[in-house]
Amino acid sequence: MWLFVAFLAVPLIEIGLFIQIGGVIGLWPTLLVVILTAMLGTYLVRTQGLMAIGKLQSSFSQLQDPTEPLAHGAMILFAGALLLTPGFFTDGVGFALCVPFIRTWVFNSLRQKIKMQSFSMGPTGHQPHQSYDPNVIDGDFEEVEIDPTKPSDPSGWTKH
């Protein structure tokens, strides 16, 4: 239900802001502001995204929990979509998500509402009694019984 309200409310807010701001500064300056915010937003998202990728790689190389860098990357991606969407409200939310402090606050707010059962890294995460052997390939199998009533001729795909 809240998603429906968001899809209805955001365009209405944008239309209202376009009318109000366009009435104050005019049509062409309004369009110029929308284009400039898209360009500036693209630059910010690119730089913030590269930093988030660096932090994610660092967390993987140090075998740390990658949840926060992944969440920051997702919020930066969402900010990019909002900044490329024409509008003042979406630009405001997009620029806000480009600020690391705000992303951290959003992450911590969401983290309090989500309960994580477990987290593990490496091949022995949930297998405390098994040793890790890089030469062993873990897999599942299913026995297939051959029907003795069918001829054993190879299919047309395997004839040479």
Taking only the tens place, the pLDDT of each residue in 32-43 is: 999 999 899 889
Cα–Cα distance between 23 and 42 in angstroms, integer?
Answer: 27
At 79-138, the pLDDT tens digits run 999 988 888 999 999 999 999 999 999 999 988 888 776 666 555 544 555 566 778 877
Residue type, 86: P
Tell me what the pLDDT averaged over the chain comes to: 84
Q: Are 97 and 103 in contact (CB under 8 A)?
A: yes
Q: Which residues of 44-74 are buried (b: 16+ CB within 10 A; e: fewer)?
A: bbeebbeebeebbeebeeeeeebebbebbbe
Q: For position 21, what pLDDT does the model report?
A: 92
Domain, as residue range, for 49 = 33-111
> Is residue 145 a part of any domain in this protein?
no
Q: For position 18, what pLDDT does the model report?
A: 92
> Is residue 17 a part of any domain in this protein?
no
Q: For position 156, what pLDDT does the model report?
A: 59
Q: For position 92, what pLDDT does the model report?
A: 93
> Is residue 123 a part of any domain in this protein?
no
| List of residues 6+ apart from 76 with CB closer than 8 A | 45, 48, 49, 52, 97, 98, 103
> Is residue 97 a part of any domain in this protein?
yes
> Is residue 74 a part of any domain in this protein?
yes
Mean pLDDT along residues 39-57: 89
- How many structural domains does the chain have? 1
Residue 1 has pLDDT above 90, yes or no: no
Q: Which residues of 86-120 are buried (b: 16+ CB within 10 A; e: fewer)?
A: ebbbbbebbbebbeeeebeeebeeeeeeeeeeeee
144 band by pLDDT with thresholds 50, 70 and 90 = confident
Q: For position 158, what pLDDT does the model report?
A: 60
> Is residue 87 a part of any domain in this protein?
yes
> Is residue 148 a part of any domain in this protein?
no
Q: For position 151, what pLDDT does the model report?
A: 66
